[in-house]
Amino acid sequence: MEEEDECPELVPIKEKQTGPTVQIPVTIITGYLGAGKTTLLNYILTEQHNKRIAVILNEFGEGSALEKSLAVSQAGELYEEWLELRNGCLCCSVKDNGLKAIENLMEKKGKFDYILLETTGLADPGAVASMFWVDAELGSDVYLDGIVTVIDAKYGMQHLTEEKPEGLINEAARQIALADLTIINKTDLVDDSELVALRDTVRSINGLVKILETQKSRVDLSQVLDLHSFDINDGVRLAEKLQLVKTSQPHLDKSMLTITFEVPGSVSEDLLNIFVQDLLWEKTFKNKAGLPMAVIRLKGILSIQQKQKKVMLQGVHELYELDETPESWADHEPRSNRLVFIGRNLDGEILKKEFISAMSNKV
Ligand SMILES: Nc1nc2c(ncn2[C@@H]2O[C@H](COP(=O)(O)OP(=O)(O)OP(=O)(O)O)[C@@H](O)[C@H]2O)c(=O)[nH]1
């Protein structure tokens, strides 16, 4: 044993872990009230997957949190400690609580391989997702794997078509717009034509999203966990995926939809940043009706001047990231920029013109 006086003078309060840190994936599970989120969590926790999973619940009010704790504890001793977030008054408190909960969780990190974070039925999952980008320190311990939205096959369409007062966003549509994966649940309660109509609507909102259909939230876990939706190493897959996306026809007036375009050549990184900031922060661009285009999710594979590697653009609400992927442009490969935008009041033609015009400005 070491002598006490051999201790260094300055002792860190918390021992830093040595060796390579294994990053823990976080999946955000969202969906409208009653869609089947708890059923999904229970299913994931009880399935055989050889993962030690921690669940974080993000609830309004104590009553429902308690109810939830009972429901989830049925899952058995797969996890005996879990965190309950109680005063979830949307954005700010979601963010603070979320951070604190995950920080606490990190202290017991060795115990977990995966974090599932369920947001309340009315919360904006974008705010929670943003949290993983804002806090750089956290970013080193956990990473956002994907956003999963559970949809009620029976009432989903009704939620999506609900008229909101002017300017307010339809939460059900926003949850789909943000999703990497949607699970249409309770298919036992609808007929084929209702299911097709709902699936088409989901697709028209989010042209990038993967759609699963199920009952009692029973899904193949390999399709839900480890999606790597924000992973720069997945640039090749994203590039292929973006090629397949089509601009959608709005399913409703003023609805959310997906638009996409491709512009050849290489662009200046500075001008690209200005364009993205004008779009996401300043809301500078307007559609034909004079309404500002509001982008909720953004993805792209771009060719930046003087860069040999393909660059991935990811955006959630007002946050975005530009990162080089490991993949280089091949010598004879035509350089180009493909972008996909999901949001409200979008007009693909206008936005493409704005993009081209912004890229031809002087740096
Ligand atoms: N018929 C039918 N009922 C289902 C299915 N999946 C879940 N349910 C029921 O739907 C109800 C709501 O499911 P939950 O999993 O609690 O939904 P939730 O999204 O967690 O609900 P909130 O926490 O209130 O937002 C429960 O009574 C479930 O048993 C299904 O596939 N078919």
Cα–ligand 1 centroid distance for 20 (angstroms): 40
290 assigned to some structural domain: yes
Q: Is the CB of 219 under 6 A from ligand 1?
A: no
Residues 321 and 242 in one domain: yes
**Do 273 and 153 have their domain in common?**
no
Average pLDDT score, the chain: 78
pLDDT tens per residue across span 152-174: 999 999 988 887 777 677 889 99
Above 60 in pLDDT, residue 338? yes
156 in ligand 1 pocket by Cβ < 6 Å? Answer: no
Percent of the chain whose predicted confidence (pLDDT) is above 90: 45
Per-residue pLDDT at 138: 52
Residue 337 near residue 265, CB atoms below 8 Å: yes
b/e 183-198 (16+ beta carbons within 10 angstroms → b)? bbbbbeebeeeebeeb
pLDDT at position 51 is: 76
Number of domains in the chain: 2
Best mutation site among 29, 39, 148 for ligand 1 pocket (most ligand atoms within 8 Å of CB): 39
- Of 230, 250, 275, the last residue of a domain is 230
49 and 150 part of one domain: yes
pLDDT value for 98: 55
Domain co-membership, 287 together with 338: yes
Question: pLDDT by residue (tens digit) across 255-265?
Answer: 788 999 999 99
Interface predicted TM-score of the whole assembly (ipTM), two decimals: 0.97
CB of residue 35 inside a 6 A radius of ligand 1: yes
Q: Is the CB of 215 under 6 A from ligand 1?
A: yes
Tell me if 286 is assigned to some domain.
Answer: yes
Nearest to 355 by CA among 289, 279, 252, 288: 279
User: Are 178 and 251 contained in the same domain?
Assistant: no
Q: How far is the CA of 185 from the centre of ligand 1 (A)?
A: 9
Distance 216 CA to ligand 1 centre (A): 7
- Atom index in ligand 1 nearest the CA of residue 215 equals 31
Cβ pair 272, 280 in contact under 8 A: no
**Same domain flag for 95 and 207:** yes
191 in any annotated domain: yes
- Which ligand 1 atom minimizes the distance to the CA of 71? 16
Q: What is the pLDDT of residues 72-119, one digit of tens each?
A: 433 333 333 444 333 221 112 233 455 566 666 666 555 677 888 887
Answer yes or no: is the C-beta of 134 below 6 A from any ligand 1 atom. Answer: no
pLDDT by residue (tens digit) across 294-336?
999 999 999 999 999 999 999 988 889 899 999 999 999 999 9
> Is the domain of 139 the same as that of 162?
yes
Q: H/E element holding 90?
A: helix 90-107
- The residue out of 183, 201, 230 marking a domain boundary is 230
Q: Is residue 72 part of a domain?
A: no
Give the separation between CA 245 and CA 209, rounded to whole angstroms.
10
Could you tell me if the CB of 122 is within 6 A of ligand 1? no
State the first-to-last Cα distance of the chain, in angstroms, to the nearest integer. 63
Contact by Cβ (8 Å): 67, 130:
no
- Domain of residue 119, residue span: 24-61+79-230
Q: Say if residue 101 is in the same domain as residue 184.
A: yes
Task: Answer whether residue 202 is part of any domain.
Answer: yes
Quickly state the pLDDT bin for 123 (edges 50, 70, 90).
low
Does the beta carbon of 38 sit less than 6 angstroms from any atom of ligand 1? yes
pLDDT higher than threshold 60 for residue 235 = yes
Does some domain include residue 294?
Answer: yes
Nearest CA to ligand 1 atom 12: 34
Could you tell me the CATH number of the domain that includes residue 265?
3.30.1220.10
In the reported structure, the alpha carbon of residue 151 is separated from the centroid of ligand 1 by a whole-number distance in angstroms of 10
Distance 36 CA to ligand 1 centre (A): 4
For residue 148, give the CATH number of its domain.
3.40.50.300
Question: 172 and 281, same structural domain?
Answer: no
Ligand 1 in reach of 188 Cβ (< 6 A): yes
Question: Tokens at residue 254, please?
Answer: 């003023």
Out of 30, 32, 38, 66, mutate this one to test ligand 1's pocket (max ligand atoms within 8 Å of CB): namely 38
Residue nearest (by alpha carbon) to ligand 1 atom 1 = 186
Co-location of 252 and 226 in the same domain = no
* Contact assessment for residue 300 and residue 313, using Cβ atoms and an 8 Å cutoff: yes
Nearest atom of ligand 1 to the alpha carbon of 188: 32
Residue ending a domain, among 198, 230, 262, is 230
With a 6 Å cutoff on the Cβ, whether 206 touches ligand 1 is no
Residues 265 and 150 in one domain: no
- Residue 358: pLDDT above 80? yes
pTM: 0.80
On whether residue 68 sits in a domain, the answer given is no
Residue 13 placed within a domain: no
Region 123-135 average pLDDT: 71
Return the residue matching tokens 């806090």: 135
Q: Are residues 147 and 294 in the same domain?
A: no
